[in-house]
Amino acid sequence: MRGHLERAPTTADEKFGWRSPRSGSTAREGVWSNAIRAVPSPSQALEVLGLYARAVDGALATTVAKVLIDPRSRLVIYSNAGHPPPILLSPDGGCQLLDQATDPPLGARPEHVPRPQAGLSYLRGDALVLYTDGLIERRDEDIDIGLSWLIDALARCGTLPVEELADRLLARMGVPGGGQDDDIALVVVRL
């Protein structure tokens, strides 16, 4: 999946950043999606989802990342519950992992603990890349190897228009033709 948004506040949810391998209910996915949009603070939204995950069969250990783009302050504000880290790509190919507010998947802790939140400044022309683990996971390989390949592929695509960047990224990651073991979602937002 590809998406393109122009300098507007946005969140990342099921199709844009969170996934539950056991979710199968459209109604449940609607609740997740509405809950993550209703609470503007990324960390507070993940806290709400964490409490909800404890009450829904099959929802524990769901991974999710919520990202808020604030065009006034030029900050990417985020919180992450066990999901692969979003990446901020600069036009010169520099990549910054949004990994300073990472926590375990939803409901993984026996007791409620506040979720971390962080912010990262961006410049006009940077791109925010959100993806599911299917893009970087390979059978019999450490996920860090796939993340390294992704960063290397992104470093060569910094100035491309977002649709071309997404297409080239999928091709370099070896996924344009399908047949993967896991679902893949990819969103590229030019800031």
Model confidence over 81-92: pLDDT tens digits?
999 999 999 999
Q: Indicate if the alpha-carbon torsion angle 29, 49, 191, 83 is positive or negative.
A: negative
Encoded tokens for 28: 């449940």
Q: pTM value?
A: 0.81
56 — pLDDT class (breaks 50, 70, 90):
confident
Encoded tokens for 33: 């999606």
Q: Which helix (H) or strand (E) holds 180?
A: none
- What does the pLDDT look like over 91-128, one tens digit per residue? 999 999 999 999 999 988 888 889 999 999 999 999 99
38 — pLDDT class (breaks 50, 70, 90):
confident
Adjacent-strand bridge partners of 71: none
Q: What is the pLDDT of residue 123?
A: 97
Report the alpha-carbon distance of residue 15 to residue 28 in Å, rounded: 14
Among 124, 138, 129, smallest CA distance to 12 is for: 129
18 — pLDDT class (breaks 50, 70, 90):
very low
Encoded tokens for 37: 């949009």
For the chain, which domains are there?
14-190 (3.60.40.10)
Report the alpha-carbon distance of residue 165 to residue 187 in Å, rounded: 10
